[in-house]
Amino acid sequence: MISGLEALERLREGNRRFAAGSRSLNEQADQLRRAETAQQQEPFAIILGCSDSRVPAELVFDQGVGDLFVIRVAGNIVAPSQIGSVEFAAEQFGTRLVVVLGHSRCGAVAATLEQLQKPAENQSPNLASIVERIRPSVEGLLSSEPDDDRAALIERGVRANVVASVEHLKHGSSVLEQLIESERLLVVGAEYSLETGEVEFFSCGQPITGQA
C-alpha cells in the first residue's frame, strides 16, 4: 500500500487533470481495472464526501474502478456508520489516507444554518439527525456574520463542518486513533469548488508532511 502522502499526491494530480479537462481514464481502462480488481481491492484512499450530485469523488480525482473507497452522505457528516466504514477500509485494506471532502455551496450546511436562524417545526427526524451533526460546528458562526452575507456564512460553515468531521474521525474511534498515533493513517480535510473544479486540501492540525 502506498503511503498517505503518496496517496495525497495522487489525488492532487488527478484533480489537476479533472480541473483542466484532461481526464486520463477511458472505457478500456475501466474494463481492465474491473477484471483486475474483481477478486480483491486495494483502494489507496478513503473519501468521506457529500452526496451532492456535483461532487462525484472518482470523477473529481480522476480515478477508476478499485482506486477509492468512497463514503457519501449529505453534509459529509460523521456518524457511527461512517466511522465504521472508515475503520473497515483502513483495517481491511491497509489504506493510509482519509480525506473528508466538503464543497462550496453545500446544501446540507445551508439547511443547517437556515434551521438555526428560522427553525422549522415539522422537520423530518431523519433529516434532523443530519442537521444536528452539522449544528455544533456552524452555530458559533452566526453571531460573527451579518445577516445579509449569507454566501460568506455558508462558505465558513462548509470549512468548519469539514474540520469538525476530521476531528470527529480522529478522536471518535480508538481503532483510528491508534492507526494515526502509529503514523499508519493520515486524515485530512479538503474542499471542492463547484465553480473551478479544484480541490483544496488542508491539514486540520495534523501536519500534512512527515506523516503516514
Footprint of Zn ion on this chain (CB under 5 A)?
50, 52, 106, 108
Query: Which CB, 62 or 191, lies closer to Zn ion?
Result: 191
Contacts (Cβ under 8 Å, ≥6 apart) of 156: 141, 145
Task: Round to whole Å and give the CA distance between 209 and 212.
Answer: 9
12, containing H or E segment: helix 4-19
Query: Which CB, 45 or 108, lies closer to Zn ion?
Result: 108
CB of 52 to Zn ion, least distance (A): 4
Place of cell 449569507: 150
Contacts (Cβ under 8 Å, ≥6 apart) of 75: 50, 106, 108, 109, 112, 130, 133, 134, 161
Query: Which CB, 99 or 106, lies closer to Zn ion?
Result: 106
CB of 8 to Zn ion, least distance (A): 22
Q: Nearest 5 degrees, angle CA 7-CA 54-CA 109? A: 90
Half-sphere exposure of 15 (CA within 13 A, CB side): 21
CB 53 within 8 A of CB 99: no
CB 31 within 8 A of CB 83: no
CB of 55 to Zn ion, least distance (A): 7
CB of 175 to Zn ion, least distance (A): 27
Query: Which CB, 101 or 212, lies closer to Zn ion?
Result: 101
Query: Which CB, 39 or 126, lies closer to Zn ion?
Result: 126
CB of 199 to Zn ion, least distance (A): 14
Cα distances (angstroms) measured from residue 169 to each of 6, 155, 163, 172, 175:
21, 22, 10, 5, 10
CB of 74 to Zn ion, least distance (A): 6
Query: Which CB, 76 or 173, lies closer to Zn ion?
Result: 76
